[in-house]
Amino acid sequence: MSVTWSREAGENLLDIEDFIARDSLERAVRFVDALIDHTEAILADNPRSERTVPEIGSHDIRELTYQGYRIVYRLNGDRIDILTVFEGHRLLRLNESGG
């Protein structure tokens, strides 16, 4: 399965990187690269293995976590669409779910 990142998810990754870069640009880049690598490695082989998003309740909208961040994605045929990435303590806002 191919993994695609929405514009919103990409913007969120840039925001995360900018925030971490306040302390260390090198650490920020490493963190975001690791988050992307982790997400794509897990989802490419086992996209249905992660939990459904409790706020949505749809079997096609799921999430995985990485070091305190929630990565929300939609199963879309033979593609996985990453919808958004945000801090794990927050609830998903409906406008972030792409639906």
Q: Which domains does the chain carry?
A: 2-91 (3.30.2310.20)
Q: Considering only residues 24 and 95, tell me which one the structure prediction assigns the higher pLDDT.
A: 24
Question: CB of 84 within 8 A of CB of 72?
Answer: yes
Burial (CB < 10 A; 0-12, 13-18, 19+), residue 8, is middle
Task: For residues 8-18, give the mean pLDDT.
Answer: 96
The CA distance from 14 to 52, in Å, is 25
3-state secondary structure 72-92: EEEEECCEEEEEEEEECCCCC
Taking only the tens place, the pLDDT of each residue in 37-76 is 999 999 988 888 899 998 888 899 999 999 999 999 999 9
Pairing of strands 2-5, 79-87: parallel
Cα dihedral 74, 49, 87, 15 sign: negative
Q: What is the predicted pLDDT for the residue at 57?
A: 82
What percent of the chain clears pLDDT 90, i.e. is strictly above it? 72
What percent of the chain clears pLDDT 70, i.e. is strictly above it? 88
